[in-house]
A = this chain, B = another copy of it.
Amino acid sequence: MTEAIQPALAVTGFHVAGVHCGLKADGALDFALISSDRPCAAAGVFTTNQVKAAPVLYDQDLLAANGGADVRAIAVNTRCANACTGELGLANAAETARLTAERLGVPLESVLVMSTGVIGTQMPMDKIARGIDLAAAALASDDDAWHTASRGIMTTDTRPKIASTDLVEIIGGSCRITGIAKGAGMIAPNMATMLGFIVTDAALTPEQAGRLLRGAVEVSFNRIVVDGDTSTNDSVFLLANGASDLILDTPELEAQFAHALTQICVELAQSVVRDGEGATKFITIEITGAPDDTAAKQIANAIGTSPLVKTAFYGGDANWGRIIAAAGRSGVAVDPARMQLRFAATDDAPGLLLFDAGMPTHYDETAATALAQGANIVVRLDLGQGDGSALIWTCDLTHDYVSINGHYRS
C-alpha cells in the first residue's frame, strides 16, 4: 500500500464544477456543485453552534431520513450563509435542493446543500437557480474541474484548499480520496469548523462513513482555531460511491483507509489555519502533563484564542507570560510551580525552556525572540500534573484580521 498527498486528483464517478452566478460582485467564482453518477454512502459532521443555518438543519434531517445511504449531489453557495433566516431560509434551502435534483435528474432526497457567507440575509434565489444551471452544465470529472470547484466555495479564503491521496491496496483493488474545504475566519475547535467535502471511490457503509469521518475530524478540523468564533454553518461531508469496488471489510483495510482519510483532513484543516484571516504565522500548541485530555484541550483552546498571545506572536515578541496567564484563566486547576514552557521551531525540535518551577529560566532572549519571529512556532506547555495531552493549530491575530472583519459585508 502506498500513499501520497497530491495537489488534486479526480475520483472515479464524481463530477464537479465551480461557476460564477452573480453572488459575488467582483465576478469571482461563487457557486460549486458536486455530483456522483451513482448513489453514495454519506456521513456529515456539523457545527455545535445552537444557532444552525438552514442548510445544516436541512442536511441533518435528510441524512437522518435516508440513513446516509443514497446521496447524489451537494450544492454549495457563497456570500449568503442562509443562517438566522427562519422559515423562509429553510424553504430556500429545500428549493435549492429541489432545483438541483431536477436539473441533475436525481431524487430530491439525495441532494445536500451547503451555504457560507453573511449571516442574516435571505438567499437570492434567482442567482442560486442560475448557479445550479451553470454548474450542472459545467460538471466535469478531471483534475481541473476539482481545482475550479475548490475555488467556487471560497469566501475570505485567499487560496483554495484541496488534498488528495491514492490508496493502493496491496492484494489488489485500490481507491482514492479527495477533499476540498473552505474556511478562514469564524474558526474554533469543537466542531467541524468550516465547509468541507471529501469523496472516495471506496465502498463504505453509511455507518462506516460516519465512524471514519468522526474519527478523522476529531484529530483535524476539531483541532484548529482562528478566532474562537464558531460558525453557524460548519459542515464536513464524506461521500463514498464505491466505484473502485474496494470494500473495507477487514479491520486492517479500514485502518489503512482511516489513516489516509485522516491525512487528508489534517492537510485541509492545516490549510484553513495557514490561510486564517490575516494570518502570518502557523502556531502549534502542545499541552502535556494535564489532569486529562479534556483539561488539556481546554487549556490549549484558552491559549489558542487569547488575543494577547496571538498579537504577541504577530509582533514576534516572545511574551510567554501571556501564555501562562491564559492557562491560568482556562478554568482548569493548574499550578505554575509545576509547569514547563518551551518554544520550538519545529515539531521534532527539543525547544527552548523559558519557564520552569514557577519562574523564568535564564534563557537567551535573542534565541526566544528568534523563535517567536519564525513563521512556524511550536508552543509546548507541560503542566506536570498527569497524562492528559492535547494538540491544536492556530495562527496569529493581525492588522489584516481586523481589516478583513471590520469590512466583511461592505
- Chain A residues close to B by CB (< 8 Å): 48-52, 81, 83-89, 118-122, 185-186, 188, 227-232, 305-308, 311-312, 314-315, 317, 319-322, 324-329, 333-337, 354-355, 357-360, 397-399, 401-403, 405-410
Contact = CB atoms under 8 A, between A and B. Distances in A.
Given A84-B324, A229-B306, A317-B408, 12 more contacts: A50-B334, A51-B327, A51-B336, A84-B355, A85-B359, A88-B359, A120-B360, A229-B326, A312-B408, A314-B402, A314-B406, A402-B402
A409 B50 CA distance: 40
A67 B118 CA distance: 56
Contact of A359 (B84, B319, B337, B398): B84
B321 A83 contact: yes
A358 B119 CA distance: 12
A329 to B, nearest CB: 4
Nearest to A328: B51
Contacts of A307: 227-229, 307, 397, 401, 405
A232 to B, nearest CB: 5
A353 B353 CA distance: 53
Contacts of A410: 315, 317
Contacts of A405: 307-308, 311-312, 315
Nearest to A356: B86
Contacts of A397: 307, 402
Nearest to A86: B359
Contacts of A312: 405-406, 408
Contact of A360 (B122, B321, B406): B122
A52 to B, nearest CB: 8
A227 B308 contact: yes
A325 B232 contact: yes
A237 B337 CA distance: 27
A317 B229 contact: no
Contacts of A311: 401-402, 405-406
Given A322-B119, A325-B231, A326-B229, A89 B315 contact: no
A81 B308 CA distance: 15
With a 10 A CB-CB cut-off, give which of A308, A402, A409 has the most chain B CB atoms: A402
Contact of A329 (B89, B188, B324, B334): B188
A51 B334 contact: yes
A188 B308 CA distance: 12
A319 B408 contact: yes
A231 B328 CA distance: 9
Nearest to A53: B325
